[in-house]
Amino acid sequence: MSNSASKKLALVKALINEFKLEEALQLVKDIEQRKNLTNDEVLRTQAYTARIHFYLGLFDIALKIAEDLYQKSQKNKAPLYSLDSLFIKIFLFYIQENEEWHEILEQLEDLFNSISREESFEFQEREALLLIWKGGSNFSIGNTDLALDYYDKSLTLFKRIDPHSISIPHVLSLMAYPYLLKGELTLAIECNEKALSLIPKGD
Protein backbone atom coordinates (compact mmCIF):
# COMPACT_ATOMS: atom_id res chain seq x y z
CA MET A 1 0.00 0.00 0.00
CA SER A 2 1.38 3.39 -0.93
CA ASN A 3 2.12 5.65 2.00
CA SER A 4 -0.08 8.47 0.69
CA ALA A 5 -3.11 6.25 0.06
CA SER A 6 -2.59 4.54 3.40
CA LYS A 7 -2.71 7.87 5.23
CA LYS A 8 -5.83 8.95 3.37
CA LEU A 9 -7.61 5.68 4.11
CA ALA A 10 -6.69 5.99 7.78
CA LEU A 11 -8.23 9.46 7.70
CA VAL A 12 -11.40 8.05 6.13
CA LYS A 13 -11.65 5.57 9.01
CA ALA A 14 -11.21 8.38 11.54
CA LEU A 15 -13.87 10.49 9.83
CA ILE A 16 -16.31 7.57 9.90
CA ASN A 17 -15.68 7.14 13.63
CA GLU A 18 -16.44 10.85 14.07
CA PHE A 19 -19.56 10.39 11.90
CA LYS A 20 -18.31 13.06 9.51
CA LEU A 21 -19.80 11.11 6.67
CA GLU A 22 -19.98 13.70 3.90
CA GLU A 23 -16.32 14.55 4.41
CA ALA A 24 -15.42 10.86 4.47
CA LEU A 25 -17.40 10.24 1.28
CA GLN A 26 -15.65 13.05 -0.55
CA LEU A 27 -12.28 11.68 0.52
CA VAL A 28 -13.01 8.14 -0.69
CA LYS A 29 -14.14 9.60 -4.01
CA ASP A 30 -10.80 11.41 -4.24
CA ILE A 31 -8.95 8.19 -3.45
CA GLU A 32 -10.90 6.29 -6.12
CA GLN A 33 -9.61 8.73 -8.74
CA ARG A 34 -5.99 7.94 -7.91
CA LYS A 35 -3.98 5.79 -10.28
CA ASN A 36 -1.88 2.78 -9.34
CA LEU A 37 -3.92 1.78 -6.30
CA THR A 38 -3.13 -1.70 -5.02
CA ASN A 39 -5.86 -4.34 -4.93
CA ASP A 40 -6.07 -3.92 -1.17
CA GLU A 41 -6.50 -0.15 -1.50
CA VAL A 42 -9.26 -0.60 -4.08
CA LEU A 43 -11.13 -3.08 -1.88
CA ARG A 44 -10.69 -1.07 1.30
CA THR A 45 -11.89 2.08 -0.42
CA GLN A 46 -14.96 0.24 -1.68
CA ALA A 47 -15.65 -1.22 1.77
CA TYR A 48 -15.54 2.25 3.32
CA THR A 49 -17.75 3.62 0.54
CA ALA A 50 -20.39 0.97 1.22
CA ARG A 51 -20.25 1.65 4.94
CA ILE A 52 -20.58 5.41 4.50
CA HIS A 53 -23.61 5.05 2.23
CA PHE A 54 -25.17 2.70 4.76
CA TYR A 55 -24.68 5.19 7.59
CA LEU A 56 -26.15 7.91 5.37
CA GLY A 57 -29.27 5.80 4.97
CA LEU A 58 -28.64 5.21 1.26
CA PHE A 59 -29.32 1.50 1.64
CA ASP A 60 -29.85 0.54 -2.01
CA ILE A 61 -26.55 2.12 -2.99
CA ALA A 62 -24.78 0.56 -0.01
CA LEU A 63 -26.08 -2.90 -0.92
CA LYS A 64 -25.09 -2.54 -4.58
CA ILE A 65 -21.56 -1.50 -3.61
CA ALA A 66 -21.34 -4.30 -1.04
CA GLU A 67 -22.43 -6.94 -3.56
CA ASP A 68 -19.81 -5.73 -6.03
CA LEU A 69 -17.24 -5.75 -3.23
CA TYR A 70 -18.11 -9.36 -2.46
CA GLN A 71 -17.49 -10.43 -6.05
CA LYS A 72 -14.19 -8.54 -6.27
CA SER A 73 -12.96 -9.77 -2.90
CA GLN A 74 -13.77 -13.36 -3.83
CA LYS A 75 -11.93 -12.96 -7.11
CA ASN A 76 -8.90 -11.48 -5.34
CA LYS A 77 -9.04 -14.04 -2.52
CA ALA A 78 -9.45 -11.29 0.07
CA PRO A 79 -11.91 -12.82 2.55
CA LEU A 80 -11.76 -9.96 5.06
CA TYR A 81 -13.43 -7.72 2.50
CA SER A 82 -15.97 -10.44 1.75
CA LEU A 83 -16.82 -10.23 5.44
CA ASP A 84 -17.23 -6.46 5.11
CA SER A 85 -19.70 -7.00 2.30
CA LEU A 86 -21.72 -9.49 4.33
CA PHE A 87 -21.77 -7.19 7.36
CA ILE A 88 -23.49 -4.55 5.24
CA LYS A 89 -25.95 -7.11 3.89
CA ILE A 90 -26.84 -8.62 7.26
CA PHE A 91 -27.45 -5.20 8.80
CA LEU A 92 -29.76 -4.23 5.93
CA PHE A 93 -31.69 -7.49 6.17
CA TYR A 94 -31.98 -7.10 9.94
CA ILE A 95 -33.38 -3.56 9.92
CA GLN A 96 -35.77 -4.57 7.14
CA GLU A 97 -36.95 -7.47 9.35
CA ASN A 98 -35.90 -9.99 6.72
CA GLU A 99 -35.37 -13.27 8.57
CA GLU A 100 -32.72 -14.29 6.06
CA TRP A 101 -30.26 -12.37 8.22
CA HIS A 102 -29.84 -15.60 10.22
CA GLU A 103 -28.62 -17.35 7.07
CA ILE A 104 -26.18 -14.53 6.36
CA LEU A 105 -24.86 -14.89 9.91
CA GLU A 106 -24.15 -18.56 9.23
CA GLN A 107 -22.33 -17.52 6.06
CA LEU A 108 -20.34 -14.95 8.03
CA GLU A 109 -19.35 -17.49 10.66
CA ASP A 110 -18.32 -20.09 8.08
CA LEU A 111 -16.24 -17.56 6.17
CA PHE A 112 -14.63 -16.16 9.31
CA ASN A 113 -13.75 -19.63 10.57
CA SER A 114 -12.10 -20.44 7.24
CA ILE A 115 -9.58 -17.62 7.71
CA SER A 116 -6.33 -18.32 9.53
CA ARG A 117 -6.41 -16.47 12.83
CA GLU A 118 -4.09 -13.49 13.11
CA GLU A 119 -3.51 -10.64 15.55
CA SER A 120 -3.83 -7.87 13.00
CA PHE A 121 -6.22 -4.96 13.50
CA GLU A 122 -8.04 -5.93 10.31
CA PHE A 123 -8.78 -9.45 11.53
CA GLN A 124 -9.76 -8.44 15.05
CA GLU A 125 -12.05 -5.65 13.85
CA ARG A 126 -14.07 -8.18 11.84
CA GLU A 127 -14.04 -10.55 14.80
CA ALA A 128 -15.49 -7.83 17.04
CA LEU A 129 -18.24 -7.14 14.48
CA LEU A 130 -19.07 -10.84 14.22
CA LEU A 131 -19.35 -11.05 18.02
CA ILE A 132 -22.02 -8.33 17.88
CA TRP A 133 -24.12 -10.42 15.51
CA LYS A 134 -23.63 -13.59 17.53
CA GLY A 135 -24.90 -11.61 20.50
CA GLY A 136 -27.87 -10.39 18.49
CA SER A 137 -28.68 -13.90 17.32
CA ASN A 138 -28.75 -15.20 20.89
CA PHE A 139 -30.82 -12.26 22.07
CA SER A 140 -33.39 -12.95 19.33
CA ILE A 141 -34.05 -16.40 20.83
CA GLY A 142 -34.04 -15.27 24.44
CA ASN A 143 -30.51 -16.26 25.45
CA THR A 144 -29.89 -13.01 27.30
CA ASP A 145 -26.85 -14.15 29.29
CA LEU A 146 -25.08 -15.50 26.22
CA ALA A 147 -26.01 -12.37 24.27
CA LEU A 148 -24.44 -10.21 26.98
CA ASP A 149 -21.33 -12.39 26.93
CA TYR A 150 -20.86 -11.87 23.19
CA TYR A 151 -21.58 -8.15 23.45
CA ASP A 152 -19.08 -7.80 26.28
CA LYS A 153 -16.39 -9.65 24.31
CA SER A 154 -17.03 -7.40 21.31
CA LEU A 155 -16.90 -4.27 23.46
CA THR A 156 -13.66 -5.36 25.12
CA LEU A 157 -12.05 -6.09 21.76
CA PHE A 158 -13.14 -2.79 20.21
CA LYS A 159 -11.85 -0.84 23.21
CA ARG A 160 -8.47 -2.51 22.79
CA ILE A 161 -7.99 -2.21 19.04
CA ASP A 162 -10.00 0.93 18.20
CA PRO A 163 -11.08 2.92 21.28
CA HIS A 164 -12.74 5.57 19.10
CA SER A 165 -14.73 3.06 17.03
CA ILE A 166 -18.24 4.11 16.10
CA SER A 167 -19.26 0.55 17.00
CA ILE A 168 -18.60 1.06 20.73
CA PRO A 169 -21.73 3.14 21.44
CA HIS A 170 -23.67 0.73 19.22
CA VAL A 171 -22.63 -2.28 21.32
CA LEU A 172 -23.42 -0.44 24.55
CA SER A 173 -26.91 0.40 23.31
CA LEU A 174 -27.47 -3.24 22.37
CA MET A 175 -26.39 -4.41 25.82
CA ALA A 176 -29.21 -2.39 27.37
CA TYR A 177 -31.88 -4.70 25.92
CA PRO A 178 -30.88 -7.99 27.57
CA TYR A 179 -30.24 -6.16 30.82
CA LEU A 180 -33.76 -4.75 30.59
CA LEU A 181 -35.26 -8.20 29.98
CA LYS A 182 -33.33 -9.55 32.94
CA GLY A 183 -34.88 -6.84 35.10
CA GLU A 184 -31.54 -5.10 35.66
CA LEU A 185 -32.87 -1.63 34.96
CA THR A 186 -29.92 0.24 36.47
CA LEU A 187 -27.43 -1.52 34.20
CA ALA A 188 -29.69 -0.99 31.18
CA ILE A 189 -29.87 2.73 31.88
CA GLU A 190 -26.11 2.93 32.44
CA CYS A 191 -25.44 1.28 29.08
CA ASN A 192 -27.80 3.65 27.27
CA GLU A 193 -26.40 6.73 28.97
CA LYS A 194 -22.84 5.67 28.20
CA ALA A 195 -23.77 4.98 24.58
CA LEU A 196 -25.40 8.39 24.20
CA SER A 197 -22.36 10.11 25.69
CA LEU A 198 -20.09 8.45 23.11
CA ILE A 199 -22.15 9.06 19.97
CA PRO A 200 -20.20 11.51 17.79
CA LYS A 201 -21.90 14.71 16.70
CA GLY A 202 -20.90 14.15 13.08
CA ASP A 203 -21.22 16.68 10.26
pLDDT of amino acid 3:
65
Q: Which residue intervals of 37-164 are DSSP H helices?
A: 39-55, 59-75, 79-95, 101-113, 121-140, 144-161
pLDDT tens per residue across span 75-87: 999 999 999 999 9
CB 183 within 8 A of CB 165: no
pLDDT tens per residue across span 10-54: 999 999 999 999 999 999 999 999 888 999 999 999 999 999 999
Tell whether the model's pLDDT for residue 203 goes beyond 60: no
pLDDT tens per residue across span 93-152: 999 989 999 999 999 999 999 999 888 999 999 999 999 999 999 999 999 999 999 999
CB 66 within 8 A of CB 46: no
Residue spans of the domains in the chain: they are 1-115, 116-202
Q: 1-115 belongs to which CATH class?
A: mainly alpha
pLDDT tens per residue across span 181-202: 999 999 999 999 999 999 887 6
Domains 1-115 and 116-202 alike in fold: yes
Amino acid identity, position 13: K
Pick the CATH number of 116-202 from 1.25.40.10, 1.10.599.10, 2.40.170.20, 1.20.1630.10: 1.25.40.10
